[in-house]
Structure 1
Amino acid sequence: MEPENHTKIPEFILLGLSDEEELQSFLLGLFLFMYLVTFIGNLLIILATITGSHLHTPMYFFLSNLSFVDICFTSTTVPNMLVNIHTHNKAITYQGCLTQMYFFILFAELDIFLLSIMAYDRFVAICHPLHYTIIMNPTLCGLLLLVSWILSVLDSLLRGLLVLRLSFCTNLEIPHFFCEINQVIQLACSDTFLNTIEMYFATGVMGIIPLSGIVFSYSRIVSSILRITSARGKYKAFSTCGSHLSVVSLFYGTGIGVYLSSATTQNSRINAIASVIYTIVTPMLNPFIYSLRNKDMKGALKSLVGIATLNE
């Protein structure tokens, strides 16, 4: 079978999560509901942070940015999946696939960086409370956010350019609900050595290193909390970290597992289903986790709802 030049590729076929016709209506309703909850929930977090003057702190600054990134993250995949299910058309153009791949990688890596920065923020707040406002000053917060954007943009651009150099055969079926880069690379007829090396290098740099930073931060946090003699003080310290730790565990547990196992497992559909956790479920749960476990955020959301009610 002769490879075709990638510029002549008309479209890829996204096989989705299931081939069963009777499940399509259920999947459409389920993922539409999850997307709306994700969009509205994270938007409320952003608005509550903006309107609540007592939430103008580094912790909530990064949380609002995380909510914005989560909205963009899910918007790169779910709307296209919903359209495909509704129209019974699984095709996506070559240009559309590359665009989706670029923005998916961009916002996924921003998620990783923000979770790492938030872990560092909690480390400073609990382990160095007297120096918190000096260390986590607005300049440093802005710089951390800027560096996160720059690194994410550059890496996603590099991955996109490496995919551009590939040629593809006539088998263009992707056993996923979006253009996941590992699946796209596996369809290539040309040499993918550079893509594979970059993929595992980026997984280490963008995944393992930030995770190591998170683990180090929380090991120091736990050590500091255990030295607190007051039971009330321990509970308060743990409660400020519990929500963030829950999100980190859910995101990293599924995300890294999918990426590291995709090269060895032959069941791509299982990887696609597992990807739902970190691409859709985690962004949807973030607003609930952070608002239900945080008195300040609950108060800000109640005030926001009150303001909206008065304006009607």
Structure 2
Amino acid sequence: MSDVLNLVKEYWEGHFKKLLIDDSELEEQPLFMRDEDMEVLKRKKNQLNFRDAKVLKNIIHGQVISYEARSSREIVDYLLTMEFLIIQKKKIYLETQQQARRAVIEGGLLIDDYLVQGEGSCDQKLGMNYIHKGLKSEKNDRFSNKRYGYDRLEAIKYAERWWNDYNPAYKNFTDDCTNYISQCVKAGGAPMRGNPDRNIGWWYSGNQWSFSWTVAHSFRWYLSGSNKGLRAIEVSSPKELLKGDVICYDFNGNGTWQHTTIVVDKDSEKMPLVNAHTTNSRMRYWMYEDSSAWTPSIQYKFFHIIDGTTT
């Protein structure tokens, strides 16, 4: 398997070095590079230039998930880890992303490589029609009279600990973006409420959870409407967000919210750097222009988590 991983490593490191480090252009698109991958690389390069940021070094790691030999071809599903050491003015930070990809090898040569799963693929069937019902009286809600403070440091510590791993105390979902963010916010001290009604509040208990805990669309609408328990206010600019705050994404701009991230740092321009699951990411620039799910119609919601009481 080391030969396979070496092929992948050389392929991606070569293209990243040429486009992002040397700041040159590919003379022509590699024959088997998918258009979406090429567009992602171009958008990432343009984003870095716009931010006056530069990749100093990139490191590629690969981990084989499955292997199948088909006649003269080898089909390899693998986890690609991309590390970018970025400098922007006086700030230097390490951005990391992971992608589930498939490589096709023939005669010892890489002839195809493509993304298996990316952002925006979260299953929204459950919770798509979620209407926030938590505004009604919930007299039996045992969390409803608690005061709480949102500990941003604890939320960030959790986000950093589990950005590339899965806490065994919670179910691991294939589309894990909002489940991960909910865990981070809970680690910051935000109180749960609504159990056992999946349509009410925001909660996780044993083998049950609310739609708002795991579904990006539901979580976005919960944050917009909640006036007790976990609460947030929507702000107009990402610069207004603090560490531990949340960004929601509608990649297609059609009203379906598909992704959620948590702010873990700011860049030199005070813009958010975020962590996320599904495509596991750490210290990623908040706009997600380097995502295959990004479209020019993308919409964002910026939520500032607030301290307070559940009453």
Please state which structure has a larger fraction of its residues in strand.
2
Q: Tell whether the structures are fold-level matches, with TM greater than 0.5.
A: no
**TM-score normalised by the chain length of structure 1:** 0.25
Q: Greater helix percent: which structure? A: 1
**Quick one: higher RCO (CA 8 Å, sep 6+), 1 or 2?**
1
The TM-score normalised by the length of structure 2 is: 0.25
